[in-house]
Structure 1
Amino acid sequence: MHVLEYLHRNVKIIAMPMAMVVGALLCRPITAVETLTGQMITPTLIFLMLFFTFCRVKPSQMKPSMLHFWLLLFQTVACVAVYFALLPLNGVVAQGAMICVLAPVAMAAVVIAGMLGADVATMATYSLLCNMVIALFAPVVLTFTGSGECTFAQMLARIAPLLIMPFAAAQFCRFVLPAAARWISDHSQISFYLWLLSLIVIIGRTTAFILDLRGADRGVEFALAGVALVLCLLQFKAGRMLGRRYGDATAGGQSLGQKNTVLAVWMAQSFLNPLSSIAPTAYIVWQNFVNSYQIYKKDRERLKN
């Protein structure tokens, strides 16, 4: 058991950078397999990952708090503020920046936050709240700032199956098969390895998208990637500052900083200038470097203690 724990601890430190490298190198085969399966690999992995995580959470533990309120307020106000601040400079960059803030918390954030010591119930509650609020708020923002009409039904169809269904399945398992739920809860680290597999697929698709871009302004591309990096760091920092006031800096940081970039890329390509999707595409890389550093730092702290 000590050997397994040692391996798990050391694998966590390098796992996400290695997953990104593997995804980038195998981008063509990954994209081909994703196409053959009807884009179902990532949703299936996310469903399983959340199912394992939600088996640890009781509905009675899930209570909205003032932290959730301030996180949602920051996100909804900041996405509009960032858009209007950058609009005079470049409309495409403004759209890309806005989508990096508007995107709801990543469904995998519950997994990573749990590894970093955050309260899983707090993260699970915010994950449900944030995705539902953004499903209501995003159609207004995207219709106003973009070139196409976005509806609540379109957003809900993208969000609900991968959020509500694994939660419902996990609670059903807890009540009907409590022994199985306990085993799953005791082996919740499996969700991290499911996340790594999904990260490989996401990075593979992301790399293929970037390679297939034709005729794009390189200056705008670099500006979008740079803005995504700045916003990534700022949101992690702002989230941690808010979370610290309510006793859970890690939950705050992951809630604001770790984004559902798959949804963000879809929103940008569907309702904004498609080139703006480079920003959330780059955000995928930046947020996983931040997560890797946080896991490394957390592991060093555990060894010292």
Structure 2
Amino acid sequence: MDIIRFLKNWTLPVSMAAGTILYLIFAYTPVLEHAANFFDPIFDFIFPLFMFLILFVTFCKVDFKKMRPVKWHLWVGMFQVIFSLILVGIILAFGLKGNKLILVESMLTCIIGPCAVAAAVVTEKLGGNLTSMTTYTFISNFITAMLVPVCFPLINPDLSMSFIQSFLLILYKVCIILVVPMILAYIVKHYMRHFHQQIISVKDLSFYLWGASLSIVTGTTVKHICHSDATVGFLLLIAVLGLILCIIQFACGKGIGAYYGSTIDAGQALGQKNTAFAIWIAYTYLNPLSSVGPGCYILWQNIINSIELWDKRRKDEKK
């Protein structure tokens, strides 16, 4: 029972540790090389499926009639837009190249990336407003879908895709991961009530699905770092910048939310990023090494989430 309680209380760090250890075992054990090659494409397929299921389960709990923008959505969205444009402006104004360009690109991916699909899951666990968070998830993904096709061709003019092609590609990926599970959840909630009750009766189902997916994305991040040609010092610099950005975004989000009585919601909305999506856009549009930024951001944001969840449990126990 103590082990089960420990796993429930520390799901996120346990998931990250499991993903790291399993990757290192399979990557550096010669006997397991064929098994590693076999499972690699399987995990690439499973991860988006986990994202889909997490959102589907989360949307099953949402009151769709109450989904509407609120004031803090505007200010958090403006932060994402303004700071993304500032970083793009710095790259263009100073003509950054080499490692300096990679550093700023890694920062850009951590800011321009949309709100994580799991942010609503963590927000619900922390006692925040699930419906308000879900609404902002849509807004944030739409902002990203507009910013990336505009900003990234300016940074990398050698891109083969046109503005319309880039915009539609990103919008398509967002719709598959975000819109389709919402439509299915709406259908299940209103027309398959018995199935809907079975889903929502499983406590914290979406949270544990997120824990499983976190193991996969952590293992993928470790893989990118291990196969990088950069020096350890440069990788550590990217990691530190990711930590600083993570703290700033969580703090600014909570500061914005404090004015509207939505500290938890706004903090998670701005601080918790869809790092898997950010890694994808870094590999697709920028220097692949810049993906280490959002890769490290996974670690920092989930450490902060784990601390927040621990603090929530501590306060609940006192009550």
TM-score by structure 1 length?
0.92
In the alignment, the residues of structure 1 paired with residue 53 and residue 306 of structure 2 have an alpha-carbon distance, to the nearest angstrom, of 22
- Find out whether 1:206 has 2:202 as its counterpart: no
Aligned letter for 1:172? I
- Distance between the aligned counterparts of 1:113 and 1:31, measured in 2? 35
Confirm or deny: 8 A CA contact 2:149 2:167 kept in the other structure. Answer: yes
Residue 83 of structure 2: aligned partner = 78
Q: CA deviation at 1:272?
A: 1.0
Question: Are 1:260 and 2:274 counterparts?
Answer: yes
Q: For 2:66 and 2:3, how far apart are their aligned partners in 1?
A: 32
Match of residue 170 from structure 1: 185
Give aligned pairs, total.
Answer: 300
Q: 1:153-198 CA deviation, whole Å, 9 max, x = no partner?
A: 1211221111111111111001111132133223241111111110
Q: 2:298 matched to 1:303? A: no
> How far does residue 108 in structure 1 lie from its aligned partner after superposition?
0.8
Decide whether aligned partners of structure 1 residues 181 and 219 sit closer, same or farther in structure 2, where only a CA change above 3 A counts. same
Question: Is 2:224–2:292's contact at 8 Å kept on the other side of the alignment?
Answer: no
- Separation in 1 of the partners of 2:50 and 2:191? 23
Moved more, 26-35 or 260-269: 26-35
CA RMSD of aligned residues (A): 2.1
1:168 aligned partner, one-letter code = I
On the 8 A contact 2:278/2:291 being kept in 1, the answer is yes
- Unmatched tracts of structure 2, length 5 or more: 27-34
Q: Displaced runs of 4+ in structure 1, greater than 6 A?
A: 6-9
Partner of 2:30: none
Q: 1:31, 1:204 within 8 Å by CA — same for their partners in 2?
A: no
Counterpart residue number, 2:17: 21
SS at match of 1:26: helix
Of residues 93, 96, 121, the one that matches 2:106 is: 96
Alignment of 1:58-73 (within 5 A): 58-73=63-78
Paired residues of 1:31 and 1:205 also in contact (CA < 8 A): no
Q: Please, which runs of 5 or more residues in structure 1 have no aligned partner?
A: none
Secondary structure of the corresponding residue to residue 10 of structure 2: helix
Q: Indicate the residue corresponding to 1:160 in structure 2.
A: 175
Alignment of 1:172-187 (within 5 A): 172-187=187-202
Tell me how far 1:7 sits from its aligned partner.
7.9
* Pairing partner for 2:133 from 115, 123, 133: 123
* TM-score when normalising by structure 2: 0.88
Question: Is residue 2:287 matched to residue 1:273?
Answer: yes
Distance change (3 Å), C-alpha of 1:252 and 1:72: same
Q: Deviations over 1:26-51 (max 9, x none)?
A: 11649645534272111111111111
Deviation at 1:255, TM superposition (A): 0.4
Superposed, 1:39-54 pairs within 5 Å as 39-54=44-59
Distance in 2 of aligned mates of 1:33 and 1:251: 40
**How far off is 1:287 after superposition?**
0.6
Q: 1:189 to 1:246 in 2, by over 3 A?
A: same
Using the aligned pairs only, state the percent identity: 32
How many Å apart are 1:248 and its aligned residue?
Answer: 1.2
Query: Which stretch of the first structure deviates more once superposed, 149-158 or 246-255?
Result: 149-158
Residues 158 and 263 of structure 1 are in contact (CA less than 8 Å); yes or no, is this contact kept in structure 2? no
